[in-house]
Structure 1
Amino acid sequence: MNTLEPDQHPIDVIVLGSGAAAFASAVTAASQGLNVVMVEKAAQFGGTSAISGGAVWLYGTDQARAAKVKDSEEAMRTYLKHVIGDGYDSTLVDAFIEHGHQALRWLEHHTELRYALRPHSPDYYPDAPGATECGRALEMVEYDGRRLGARLKDLQMPPPGMLLFGGMMVNRLDIQHFLSVRRSPRSLWHCLRLLARYGVDRLRHPRGTRLTTGNAMIARLATSAFAKGVQLWLRSEAEELIVEHGAVTGVVIRRGGHRHRLLAKGGVVCAMGGFAAGRLAASYRPDLPGTHLTMSPASNDGAALRLARAVQAAVGRGLAANFFWAPVSQVRHSDGQYERFPHLVTDRAKPGVIAVDNSGRRFVNEADSYHHFVETLFAKGMASCWLICDAQAMNRYGLGLARPKPVNNQALIDAGYLYRADTPEALAQAIGVDVQGLAHTLQAFNADAQAGLDPVFGKGANAYNRYMGDPQHRPNPCLAPLQTAPYYAIQLHTGDLGSACGLVTDANANVLDESGQPITGLYAVGNDMNSMMKGTYPGPGITLGPALTFGWLAANHITARLQAPSILKEHTACTTK
C-alpha cells in the first residue's frame, strides 16, 4: 500500500464529496482553522448540486425578516408534520428550524455565498396547514465564474439541455424574460444584455462565465474554500474507513492508481451524493417495467452506505419514498450520446400542455410538484406517460428539450424524441396512444380550459400551480385549450433527482449505529444523510437547505470535539501512516 510521507501537514477533517453539503462542511471547518481535505471520485467537482436549481428552503432567514415575511416556527413545524406524516423526526426538524438560518447567515458572512429571497414562491402544498406563499424559498445570486480562476474548468457543468447556445446559464427570472421577449421591451433588453455577455465570454472561455443556480452556489463556496486552504482531490475514490479504538479516524483512498491511508483528527464527513446512480438504486425503487432515469451523476453510487455498513451504521427505513422523484425525458443524439432533461419548471404547468397515459386519458394535475407527479405515476403502476401540447404552447414555452419559437427543433424530431403531427388523431397514432381516448380527453379538456377551469384534476387551482404557470395568461395561468396545429408530444419516464434514504444521524449529522449510538468521527450530510423530510417534498430547496444546515452543524461539532482537551491528547500524532 502506498502511503503519504509522515512529514505531510496533519489533517483535521476529511470530506468525501464536493456538493453543497460537502463544501459547507469543508469551508466551515477551514474558517475555524482546521486543515481540510476534500476527496471527489469524479473528474469535476460539484456533483448533483452543481446542476441543481440552487434554491434553499429555510425558516427565518435574514432575507425573510428584512422583507417582513409573516411566518413562525410553529407554522413551519405544523406544515412539516402535515407533509411528512408518521416519519416526522422532531429532533432533526427542530435542529433544522433553529440552525438553518444561523448556518446561512454564518456562511454568507464567512464565504462568498449569497442568496436572495424569492418574492413569491408558494410551498408545494400551499393549502396545507402552516404553508406559506413566500418567505421560505431563497434563490442563488448569480456569480462571475472567472473568480474561480483555473478551477473553473473543474466545475461540473449542467447538461446541454439546461443551457442555452451550448454554454449559457439562465435562472428562473432569465427564463421568464426569454419567454416574454416578444411581448416586453424590458425582457428584450434583459435578454440582449445576457447574449452580449455570453458572446464576449465565448471569445475567451469554452462556456459562459455568468453562473446561476446551483453552479453559482458551488462556485461561490468553492472559491472561498480554496482561498481558506481546503485541498480538493479529484479522481480519488474512498475504499475503506479506518477505525481505531471504536472511532472513525480516516479513509483509505485510491488516487492515480495508488492507495493512500489518510488519517484525520476530527474524522470523516460523508457527502458523496447518495446512491441514485448505483446498482443499489433499483432495489429501493418500485418494481415497474420500463426505463427509470436518474439525474444523479454516475459517481453517486452509494459509496457512503457501503463504507458505513462496515462499521455497523444504521440506514434509514420506512421512508415515504427512497428518492426525490422527478419526471425525466431522454434523447439519443446522432453521436450515440444520451441526454436527459428533468421536467421541473418549464413545461408541465404551462397553459396548453397536458399529460396522458396510453389510453389517451389525463391522470394527474400536471402543475403539481415534480415529486408528486412521479408519485402519481407509481401509484397508477405507470413507468412512463406522454406530455402533449399544441403549436401555440410549443411556440411560447417549448416542451422538454424542444425550445420555443424561433428555434428549429427538427433534430429532436429526427432523433425520435419529439413527435409532431397535424392532427390529434395522427399524433395519437404516432405515439401509440388510444386515438378515441385522446379525442375524448381533448374535447372535454378544451371546453373547460377555455373557461379557465379543470374540474377533474384542478390544474391551476392553487397558489403553487398558478406560480408555475404563465402569469400573463388569463383567466387561468395554467390552462389553455389544445387546438392549434401542429401538435407535439414527448415521452416522460419516472426519474429522480437523487436518493432520500441514507445514513441515520443525530442533530449534529453524527452517524448512528444500529443501536442508536453515535459513531465517533463519522458524519453524513447531503444525500448521504437519511433525509429529514423522509421521502416527502415540502417545497423548493428542501434538499439544499438541510444540506447547508447539517454540513455546517457537522463541521461545528467536529471543531468542538477537537477543541476538547481529551480529544487533542488522543490525536496529537494523527497525520498519516
Structure 2
Amino acid sequence: MPLVTVLSRVALPTSTTLIQSSIATSTLLRRGFASIKEPAKYDHEYDVVVVGSGCSGLTAAVVAAKRGQKVLVVEKTGYYGGTTAYSGGGAWIPNNKHQPALGVKDSKENADTYLHGVLDTLYEPEKTKAFLETGPKMVEWMENNTEVRFKPVPLPDYHVSKEGASTGRTILTRQFDGRRLGHRVKEVRYPIQGYSAFGTMQVDPEELPAFTNPFGSFSNLLHDTRRVLRYALVGRLFYSGISEGVQFWNNSPAIKSIVNQGVRGIVVQRNGKEESIRARKGVVLASGGFGRSPEAKEYVGHDWTVQPRGNVGDGKRIGAESGGALPEKNPHNAIYAPISLLQMANGTIRRYPHFAIDRSKPGSIIVGPDGKRFANESDPYQEFIKTMHERGIRTAFFIGDSDFLKKYGMGMALPWPYPTGNLIRRGYLISAPTLDELARKIEVDAATLHQTVGKCNEHARTGHDAEFNRGENRYDNFYGDANAKPNPNLGLCQKPPFYALRLYPGNVSTMWGLVTNKDAQVLDSTGTPVPGLYAVGCDQNSVFRGQYPGGGSSIGPGMTFGFRAGEHLAGL
C-alpha cells in the first residue's frame, strides 16, 4: 500500500483540536518503515540538522546558527533553494514594517478578522495567533541580523471583498547580487523556463514586464543586463547561512531518523554510503512536500506540479516513522495554478505555472472544452483552479491574438522579439490564421468560439465584463495593464494569427503535512511534542489549511515558523 495512502487514514486534527487516536506510527512500524535505534557512535555531530533548503529550512538554520548553534543543512538534490527558488521571494506577513511606506495602516486584529473570514471553520487559534504575532518580528529580526532585505509592494490580498482585507501584506525580497556567492552560486536552483529572459534565479514580479520584454526599450535592456547575476530570497538566505557558519551538504538525502525516546539524529545517504548524524538539539524537517510522489494525485486532484523532482514526501515519511501524526486531508492540499506543458526532445516535460502575469493582461481569453469561458481569467490562481476542479475541466485553452502575444507573451512564449517557432513546432503554442482554424486545432466548436471571442471584444469596448466582472477589483487591476482603457484587464482579440495554449489544473506546492504546535514541534497522536523533531514549510500542515489569503501565503508562514523553530531550538 502506498505510504501516503496509509497516512491518510490517521485520525488527526480538526481545525482546532487533536483527536486522541492515531494508527500512523504503529502501521508504519508494522510495514517496515521504522526509524533506527541510536548507534554507539555517530559519524558526525551537530546541534541542529535541517532536512531541505527552501526558505523555511534556511530560515530555521540561519536563526539557530545566529543564536550560537552548530547547524547542518542536508539537501537531497544537487541544488539549494527548493521550490522557493522558483518564486519571486514574496512573503505574506500582515502588519509588516513596510506597509506604512505604501500609506497602509494595518493591524494584527485586522488581519485576524480577515483570516477568520477566509478560513472559516479551518481557523486554528493558537497557530494563527503565533503567526500574526511573530511574522512582523521575523521580518524585523531578519533585516537586522541577516542579509535578507524586504521591500513593499501594493499587492492586494486575494479575497478583496472579505472584511479585514488589506494591501501590502505581501512583501518582496530586494535584489541580491549572486556574484557575492562566488563559485557557490552554481549550487542554487535554476528558475522555471519563461520566467526570466536571461536565466536569472528569481525575478521580482514588479520587474517581470521588463524581463519578459527586454528589447521593448533601451531602459528595459539596461535593466536586464544589470540584473543578470542578481538573486533574491534564496540567494540572501544561502549567503546568510554561509556567513553564520552553517554547513551545507547537497546530493545528501535524509533517509531515516534515529530514535531513542525522541529523535536523536538522522541518517543521510552521502558519497555512496549511509552516514549517521547526531542532532543534539533537534532535526528540522523542511523537505518541501510531496508534489512529485505517485500518491500526490490522491490529495490534489490533478496530475501536474512544478515542484522539484526530489519532493516526494521524505519529510512526512520520516516524521511519521518518528512518531509524528498526520491530519485528515485539508479541503485543499496544495497551492494551485494553471500549468502549461512543453514536451522536450529528450522526453522530459517542462512545466510553466500561469500565476497572473500573462492571463491577467487585456486580450487574454480562457475557455473550456466547450469553447466557453468558465471563470474570470484574472482570478487568483488558487481560486481559478478551484473552479476548474468544481466544473471538472481537465484541459482549458488560453487564447490570444498576434498583438497580445507580441506585447505580453503567453507562458514560455515570451513577447517580441523572442522567437516562437520552436514552441509552435513542439506543439506548446498553437497557431492558426483564423479563429475557425484555431477552433479546429484545439477541437472546440468554431461557432461557439466565435461567439465567446465576440462577447469578450464587446466587453473590452464597454469596459464591463457582464459574465464574470473581470477587472472590477483591485487584485485584477494590479496584474492588468494600466494603459488599457477603459478596463485594464479587458482587451480586443481580433488580429490574426491567433494563438492558444493548453492549460491544465496543477499546483506549485503541496500543503498537507505533519501536525505541529506554535513552535513547529511535531506532535504525536495525543498532541504531545515528539522530542527533538520539528517540521516547517510544506512538511508542516499549513496554518491556512490549504487556503490562500494572499501572495506569499506559503513563504510567509514558512519563514515565520522556521524562525520560531530556530528560536526554540536555541532555547529561546
Name the TM-score, length of structure 2 as normaliser.
0.90
Change (3 A) 1:33 1:476: same
Change (3 A) 1:430 1:67: closer
- How many Å apart are 1:56 and its aligned residue? 0.6
Separation of aligned partners in 1, 2:212 and 2:546: 33
Specify the code of the residue in structure 2 equivalent to 1:31: K
- Does the 8 Å CA contact 2:325/2:514 hold for their aligned counterparts? yes
Partner deviation per Cα, 1:198-256 (whole Å, 9 max, x = no partner): 6xxxxxxxxx3122xxxx21111111111111111111111111111x21111111111
Specify the code of the residue in structure 2 equivalent to 1:540: G
Separation of aligned partners in 2, 1:554 and 1:285: 28
Specify the code of the residue in structure 2 equivalent to 1:394: L
User: Do structure 1's residue 221 and structure 2's residue 232 form an aligned pair?
Assistant: no
- Does the 8 Å CA contact 2:197/2:211 hold for their aligned counterparts? no
Separation of aligned partners in 2, 1:439 and 1:68: 45
State the match for 2:15 in structure 1: none
Change (3 A) 1:267 1:165: closer
Specify the code of the residue in structure 2 equivalent to 1:548: M
Separation of aligned partners in 2, 1:275 and 1:335: 25
- Does the 8 Å CA contact 2:363/2:493 hold for their aligned counterparts? yes
- Does the 8 Å CA contact 2:77/2:251 hold for their aligned counterparts? yes
Change (3 A) 1:468 1:333: same
- How many Å apart are 1:5 and its aligned residue? 11
Specify the code of the residue in structure 2 equivalent to 1:138: I
1:259-408 aligned at under 5 Å gives the runs 259-286=274-301, 292-408=303-419
Partner deviation per Cα, 1:261-282 (whole Å, 9 max, x = no partner): 1111111000000111112212
State the match for 2:481 in structure 1: 470
Partner deviation per Cα, 1:489-540 (whole Å, 9 max, x = no partner): 0000111011110001000001111121111111000110100111111100
Separation of aligned partners in 2, 1:264 and 1:318: 31
State the match for 1:138 in structure 2: 171
User: Unpaired runs of 5+ in structure 1?
Assistant: 199-207, 562-577
Root mean square deviation, CA, Å? 2.0
- Secondary structure in structure 2 of the residue aligned to 1:62: coil
Specify the code of the residue in structure 1 equivalent to 2:287: M
- Secondary structure in structure 1 of the residue aligned to 2:121: helix
Change (3 A) 1:473 1:4: farther
- How many Å apart are 1:430 and its aligned residue? 0.8
Separation of aligned partners in 2, 1:319 and 1:93: 16
State the match for 1:571 in structure 2: none
State the match for 1:210 in structure 2: 230
Change (3 A) 1:532 1:486: same
Separation of aligned partners in 2, 1:225 and 1:304: 21
- How many Å apart are 1:439 and its aligned residue? 1.5
User: Do structure 1's residue 34 and structure 2's residue 82 form an aligned pair?
Assistant: no
State the match for 1:559 in structure 2: 570
Q: 1:85 aligns with which of 120, 124, 145?
A: 120
- Does the 8 Å CA contact 1:11/1:265 hold for their aligned counterparts? yes
Change (3 A) 1:454 1:276: same
Q: 2:471 aligns with which of 439, 460, 463?
A: 460
- Secondary structure in structure 2 of the residue aligned to 1:388: strand
- Does the 8 Å CA contact 2:213/2:220 hold for their aligned counterparts? no
- How many Å apart are 1:178 and its aligned residue? 5.4
Deviating more after overlay: 476-485 vs 438-447: 438-447
State the match for 2:46 in structure 1: 11
- Secondary structure in structure 1 of the residue aligned to 2:258: strand
User: Do structure 1's residue 109 and structure 2's residue 144 form an aligned pair?
Assistant: yes
Partner deviation per Cα, 1:60-119 (whole Å, 9 max, x = no partner): 22222455521121210111111112111011111011000101111111110000011x
User: Unpaired runs of 5+ in structure 2?
Assistant: 1-35
Change (3 A) 1:169 1:75: closer
- How many Å apart are 1:4 and its aligned residue? 11
- How many Å apart are 1:374 and its aligned residue? 0.8
Separation of aligned partners in 1, 2:403 and 2:63: 50
Specify the code of the residue in structure 1 equivalent to 2:360: A
State the match for 2:531 in structure 1: 520
User: Do structure 1's residue 188 and structure 2's residue 222 form an aligned pair?
Assistant: no
State the match for 1:205 in structure 2: none
Q: 2:451 aligns with which of 418, 423, 440?
A: 440
- How many Å apart are 1:486 and its aligned residue? 1.1
- Does the 8 Å CA contact 1:126/1:463 hold for their aligned counterparts? yes
Specify the code of the residue in structure 1 equivalent to 2:294: R
Separation of aligned partners in 2, 1:273 and 1:78: 29
- Secondary structure in structure 1 of the residue aligned to 2:165: coil
Change (3 A) 1:299 1:76: same
State the match for 2:210 in structure 1: 177
Separation of aligned partners in 2, 1:10 and 1:281: 34
User: Do structure 1's residue 99 and structure 2's residue 119 form an aligned pair?
Assistant: no
Separation of aligned partners in 2, 1:86 and 1:5: 48
- How many Å apart are 1:173 and its aligned residue? 2.8
User: Do structure 1's residue 490 and structure 2's residue 501 form an aligned pair?
Assistant: yes
Q: 1:126 aligns with which of 131, 135, 160?
A: 160
Change (3 A) 1:248 1:330: same
Separation of aligned partners in 2, 1:528 and 1:179: 33
1:250-265 aligned at under 5 Å gives the runs 250-265=265-280
Separation of aligned partners in 2, 1:180 and 1:327: 22
Separation of aligned partners in 1, 2:482 and 2:278: 55
User: Do structure 1's residue 153 and structure 2's residue 186 form an aligned pair?
Assistant: yes
Specify the code of the residue in structure 1 equivalent to 2:366: A
Specify the code of the residue in structure 2 equivalent to 1:262: I
Separation of aligned partners in 2, 1:23 and 1:403: 32
- How many Å apart are 1:158 and its aligned residue? 0.6
Partner deviation per Cα, 1:4-48 (whole Å, 9 max, x = no partner): 996977410010001100110001000011000111100111110
- Does the 8 Å CA contact 2:257/2:318 hold for their aligned counterparts? yes
Aligned residues: 536
- Secondary structure in structure 2 of the residue aligned to 1:37: strand
Partner deviation per Cα, 1:306-349 (whole Å, 9 max, x = no partner): 11112331113241201110111011133444221110122111
Change (3 A) 1:25 1:388: same
- Does the 8 Å CA contact 1:55/1:540 hold for their aligned counterparts? yes
Specify the code of the residue in structure 2 equivalent to 1:231: Q
- Does the 8 Å CA contact 2:196/2:208 hold for their aligned counterparts? no
- Secondary structure in structure 1 of the residue aligned to 2:487: coil
State the match for 1:202 in structure 2: none
- Does the 8 Å CA contact 1:329/1:400 hold for their aligned counterparts? yes
Partner deviation per Cα, 1:421-466 (whole Å, 9 max, x = no partner): 1211110001111112112212222212211111111111111011
User: Do structure 1's residue 164 and structure 2's residue 197 form an aligned pair?
Assistant: yes
- Does the 8 Å CA contact 2:88/2:203 hold for their aligned counterparts? no
Separation of aligned partners in 2, 1:249 and 1:449: 62
- Does the 8 Å CA contact 2:147/2:240 hold for their aligned counterparts? yes
- Does the 8 Å CA contact 1:160/1:167 hold for their aligned counterparts? no
Separation of aligned partners in 1, 2:430 and 2:389: 25
State the match for 1:45 in structure 2: 80
Separation of aligned partners in 2, 1:7 and 1:243: 13
Change (3 A) 1:178 1:46: closer
- Does the 8 Å CA contact 2:114/2:165 hold for their aligned counterparts? yes
Change (3 A) 1:177 1:351: same
Q: 2:254 aligns with which of 232, 238, 257?
A: 238
Separation of aligned partners in 2, 1:408 and 1:7: 55
Separation of aligned partners in 2, 1:261 and 1:548: 28
- Secondary structure in structure 2 of the residue aligned to 1:49: helix
- Secondary structure in structure 2 of the residue aligned to 1:106: helix
- Does the 8 Å CA contact 2:49/2:74 hold for their aligned counterparts? yes
